Structure 1
């Protein structure tokens, strides 16, 4: 165990796993949940019918750009986590369920300078790839282009530069990013955005939030020590539990409201019922029984189930109406 120039604790593994693997871990390539927004966007276009070369090219370019975006975001988050010591606190020896190898800067397999170069390179890659997606897309409404640009700028500034997550924007950012990553590619391909697309984008964004709030609960002490004001830090333990319950309930309310307002078919709540049931189990596991990291893992699984439910809903609705959603 050593200390870097910023005073953070670095825990070096006994054997280096190589630079390439370290960069892959820095980019968090194993966490693909935000990338699933493409499946939702595509299904909103009646996926079985929209397999032309232009559609596939836009989705491929936007998806590769998203890969770069997430890599830049997680890289700069790790740089800040190293500098302020929060990763050392949250991934240290007192947190055995956390894998230190997931933090290559903390593990000593990459230097801070290497990470910063990688972060800016992947951000530039996102600009080029999303620019290409806009160039080949059949539509380029200003709001879709602006949404994509806002996603990139705020992602880079999430923990670095302006540090949005250090100014109380973390929870809002998670939902907004998910929403943007659905409606931006959908707008490039459809040229418009429907009420149901906005509902699904919001539901998609709630997924990362509803496993993020459990991570924040687990990391409360470390975040408080470095001045990162998550809801878990700003409220009491009871207040944080109420917040988690409220956000969980918002998901169900949004599903019901979409149907009641005519944005979704009458059977939409039935299609999303497995998600609602899993969300209840997640709340009981994490909040009632106190198994925070187990609840976080269940939240990841629930998000993926939600994506499947949304895609199936869109495909069935497209088949019934003979067109897009």
Structure 2
């Protein structure tokens, strides 16, 4: 029984994608954006901490529903085929057979309810509750559950936008609860943060193009030619570059682009690796690392500037 329970626990852990922490890093950026006196305020720590916990449950519900939809329409079975050594089937419990559809659906709704309660609690105990922040949290919650379920946003051409927008919201919402403010500097960092998951998601989509086309999931990679998709990824990367150089005009220090130089250099290598050398999955993995490098750079900048 212990072995069965451990195996089941690992399956739920993988279903919730708890090893992918990249969205959760947003609260670290938020904490460093706060004034030093606010960083250790009990109300701030409590509300941001509860928001983060709720975020874990909301995202767990979102990805569980995404897995269920991907399994039912056959795209995950195609994209995680046994002859693709770069896509590990055990990461998809339904495909691997470690969970059934009923278990996944119950897990999704249970985590969705817990996530909603935690986010409501975070709002209730927050030092600030500006209307825009409350609305943002409600909208984020609703559309997170609609990503691959209900209206299925990702099946109607909104996948790439949603991946970025979720990152934007998961910085701006806790920042609003903690500070009650909306600043250009915070907005710029939220936008940069959201582009991180997008710039490894688009490489996943490039790899998964056959499965997505088969089920009619309209990612940019599935809708365009390989060349068109390449130019789209280049354009998103260029937008990140432009934003980094625009941050000083949005309230950041003049040397901000220099602090983000590791991101700029690594992003060029990612493009070369993915589209010149054709190693899409290594480029995707590099994208995850670039996102974490960017977060570290933002944290350092904030600790220096907001002291």
1:157 pairs with 2:149: no
1:204 pairs with 2:193: yes
1:292 pairs with 2:285: no
Equivalence for 2:26: 37
Q: CA deviation at 1:50?
A: 1.4
Checking the alignment, whether the CA contact within 8 Å between 2:76 and 2:95 is kept in structure 1 is yes
Q: Which deviations, in whole Å up to 9, do the C-alpha atoms of 1:24-81 show, x marking residues without a partner? A: 1100000000000101111110457511211111121011001001101110000001
Checking the alignment, whether the CA contact within 8 Å between 2:203 and 2:280 is kept in structure 1 is yes
Distance 1:285 1:49 in 2: 42
1:316 pairs with 2:301: no
Distance 2:279 2:221 in 1: 16
CA RMSD of aligned residues (A): 1.3
Structure 2, unaligned stretches of length 5 or more? none
TM score, norm. by length of structure 2: 0.97
In structure 2, relative to structure 1, the CA distance for the partners of 1:53 and 1:16 (3 Å cut) is: closer
In structure 2, relative to structure 1, the CA distance for the partners of 1:123 and 1:47 (3 Å cut) is: farther
Higher helix content, 1 or 2: 2
In structure 2, relative to structure 1, the CA distance for the partners of 1:63 and 1:91 (3 Å cut) is: same
Equivalence for 1:281: 269
Equivalence for 2:64: 75
Equivalence for 2:55: 66
Checking the alignment, whether the CA contact within 8 Å between 1:16 and 1:109 is kept in structure 2 is no
Q: Could you say what secondary structure the match of 1:64 adopts? A: helix
Checking the alignment, whether the CA contact within 8 Å between 1:134 and 1:188 is kept in structure 2 is yes
Among 166, 169, 176, the residue aligned to 1:180 = 169
Q: Could you say what secondary structure the match of 1:18 adopts? A: helix
**Paired residues, number:** 304
